[in-house]
Structure 1
Amino acid sequence: MTEISKTIAEWKELLTPIEFDVMRNAGTERPWTGELLEENREGVYCCKACGAELFHSDTKFDAGCGWPSFYDPADSDAVTTDIDYRLGYARVEVRCAKCGSHLGHVFPDAPQTPTGQRYCMNSVALTFTPKNAD
């Protein structure tokens, strides 16, 4: 996969202030505020910064956490993970493999899913394209 590299100024030009804070500064949108939380149509979720395909709607589930949640990425190399200690304890951060944008975190607390994983994503880091969109 070809990696995308931009300067801070280029990212600020491309993203809104909240998108920049979340995707480039590893911020978090407030729970229950994301426009994609209640999205239930069939389709594809992509990185808002670069358009890379990240998740399919058939892996989305209601985790009750206030953020869109998925149990598996669209492809095994769609995202990368790293340990994040920003809150003083270890969490697994999820980034777009193509542009390095922060998307959210993954937690091993979803036994009701096929993978047991909860990819807890920020809505502002994603775009959604319905399956039959032209």
Structure 2
Amino acid sequence: MPLRSRLAIAVAVGAFAAAAATTPAVASDDWDPRGDGGHHHHDKPRLYKGVVTAGTLALRSAPTRGSQIIRYVHKGDIVKIFCKTGGQTIDGNPLWYLLPDGTWAWGAARYIDNIGPAPRWC
């Protein structure tokens, strides 16, 4: 694996660890579209949304196909997206989304279409 990919994964894992340390294991279902609790001093939302396009999509412990499967989502499911990072390229798309729905897990962006703005980088 190239150094750049390993570095991106290491940065994402660090962001994930920091988020996990301050976030409950089960994320809230509340979605604040601006991410500021109603105080409109931020331009970017805290969480983004996406819709699953694969029949069944395995969500994983790291942004690679070989990592542990955490859970599955299905075509048409709406998911929350915390951030994006580079990972293993899937059908020409190297991006992966960190999803906080229920458990923190990575989903290949190739199979999740954004609803609204593109997620921020991890």
TM-score (norm 1): 0.27
TM-score (norm 2): 0.29
